[in-house]
Amino acid sequence: MSKLLLKAKRGTGRIVHVTPQIAGWSHVGFDLYRLEPGETVAEGTGAREVCLVFVSGRGQVRVGGRDLGVLGERMSPFEGKPWSVYVPEGTEWSVEAGTDLELAVCSAPGRGGRLAPRVILPDTLGQEVRGKGTNTRYVTNILPEGEPADSLLVVEVITPGGHTSSYPPHKHDQDNLPAESLLEETYYHRLNPRQGFAFQRVYTDDRSLDEAFAVEDGDVVLVPKGYHPCAACHGYDLYYLNVMSGPKRTWKFYNAPEHEWLIGR
């Protein structure tokens, strides 16, 4: 099994656990909790900042001793925009599930803890359509670079069945601004209907890294470097939640030159 593909686990509790030490990189962390009503997860951010994303379900949220109320609305990641919470470094937080709950904990290094905790409301999230034809996908910007954070970038994407995404292939593995930024990235995949599968390839120009995966509902793919396109199979819509972070908080990508002709087609 590839070290870049983390297969879905069943059951409840923390079912995905990615740290920089586990991934072999420096910035991105990603946990996924699946909770039943009444179950609670409670953690401290330490020297990292966190974005809690309600992938599905609702829960009672406390951050820094403050009750933020019951958050969450959609019961599927394929239905509407998510509720999210930004939690700065050095802060305790907890979530008690009010329904079946899938909670993503996206993390990256903090840089001073100057920011206050905040609820990120669905109505404030920007959405955009990228691509054309069978390269069309639908993007929701949860924590883009225009919104306050120390180093986290968080976005979710819906790719209709039969479409490609993160395509034409692009990469962001060089600290070479303004042309390209260095960002590690995780992909948390969901499929609708759940028994479906999609494909993702992670590869470099010299093919020293070149791996392709059949991704199923709940799988996570790590992208330490290289290009990383996805393809959703006919009949099965693909959702993924991306977490990115690197030395500088900006998303500047480099397209594979041999495929740039596809842009705008």
Kindly tell me if the per-residue pLDDT of 84 is higher than 90: yes
Domain boundaries, the chain: 5-262
Percent of the chain surpassing pLDDT 90: 96
Max Cα distance, the chain (Å): 53
Integer Cα distance of 122 and 12 in angstroms = 26
Integer Cα distance of 145 and 168 in angstroms = 22
pLDDT digits (tens, 9 = 90+) for 26-73: 999 999 999 999 999 999 999 999 999 999 999 999 999 999 999 999
Strands 48-56 and 126-130: unpaired
Kindly tell me if the per-residue pLDDT of 157 is higher than 90: yes
Q: What pLDDT sits at residue 112? A: 84
Q: Which two tokens stand for residue 164?
A: 């490609």
Kindly tell me if the per-residue pLDDT of 264 is higher than 80: no
- Topology of the domain comprising 5-262: Jelly Rolls (2.60.120)
Q: What pLDDT sits at residue 114? A: 84
Question: Is the separation of the CB atoms in 139 and 126 below 8 Å?
Answer: no
Q: Looking up tokens 């072999």, which residue turns up?
A: 24
Percent of the chain surpassing pLDDT 70: 99
Integer Cα distance of 176 and 43 in angstroms = 35
For the residues 233-257, what does the mean pLDDT come to? 97
pLDDT digits (tens, 9 = 90+) for 131-149: 999 999 999 999 999 999 9
Residue 79 host element (H or E): none
Entry pTM: 0.97
Q: What pLDDT sits at residue 204? A: 98
Sign of CA dihedral 111, 116, 122, 128: negative
Q: How many other CB atoms sit within 10 Å of the CB of residue 86? A: 24
Cis peptide before 193, with omega less than 30 degrees from 0? yes
Integer Cα distance of 115 and 41 in angstroms = 23
Q: How many other CB atoms sit within 10 Å of the CB of residue 214? A: 11
pLDDT digits (tens, 9 = 90+) for 209-232: 999 999 999 999 999 999 999 999
Q: What's the chain's average pLDDT?
A: 96
Question: Is the separation of the CB atoms in 172 and 251 below 8 Å?
Answer: yes
What SS3 class is residue 261? helix
pLDDT band of 91, cuts 50, 70, 90: very high
Strands 48-56 and 101-109: antiparallel
For the residues 187-215, what does the mean pLDDT come to? 98
Question: Is the separation of the CB atoms in 175 and 182 below 8 Å?
Answer: yes
pLDDT digits (tens, 9 = 90+) for 98-129: 999 999 999 999 988 689 999 999 999 999 99
DSSP notation for 104-139: EEEEEE-SS--SPPEEE-GGG-EEEEESSGGG-EEE
